[in-house]
Amino acid sequence: MSRITRRQALGAAVGAAVGTAGVALVGAAPAADRRPAATGHPAQDHRDPKAFDEVYLGRRIQGAPASGGHTGHGGHHGAGWTVRVDGEELHVMRNADGTWISVITHYEPVASPHAAARAAVRELQGAHLVPFDHV
Q: Tell me, yes or no, whether 29 and 45 share the same domain.
A: no
Answer whether 109's CB lies under 8 Å from 100's CB: yes
Q: Residue range 79-84: average pLDDT? A: 88
In this model, does residue 9 exceed pLDDT 90? no
pLDDT value of position 4: 77
Total domains in the chain come to: 2
Strand ranges, E, within 1-135 = 52-56, 59-65, 81-85, 88-90, 92-94, 100-102
Q: 82 and 52: one domain?
A: yes
Looking at residue 75, its pLDDT comes to 46
Tell me: do 76 and 13 sit in the same domain. Answer: no
CATH (domain of 98): 3.30.1880.10
What pLDDT, on a 0 to 100 scale, did the predictor assign at position 1?
53
Question: Does residue 23 have a pLDDT over 70?
Answer: no
The tens digit of pLDDT for each residue in 42-58 reads: 334 445 689 999 999 99
Q: Is 93 helix (H, G, I), strand (E, B) or coil?
A: strand
Same domain, 83 and 46: yes
For residue 55, tell me if it sits in a domain. yes
Range of the domain at 21: 1-34
pLDDT at 32 (0 to 100): 43
23 and 62 fall within a common domain = no
pLDDT at position 51, please? Answer: 95
Output the average pLDDT for the chain.
Answer: 76
Let me know whether 46 and 100 are in one domain: yes
On whether both 48 and 62 belong to a single domain, the answer is yes
Q: Are residues 44 and 98 in the same domain?
A: yes
The DSSP code sequence of 110-125 is BSSHHHHHHHHHHHHT
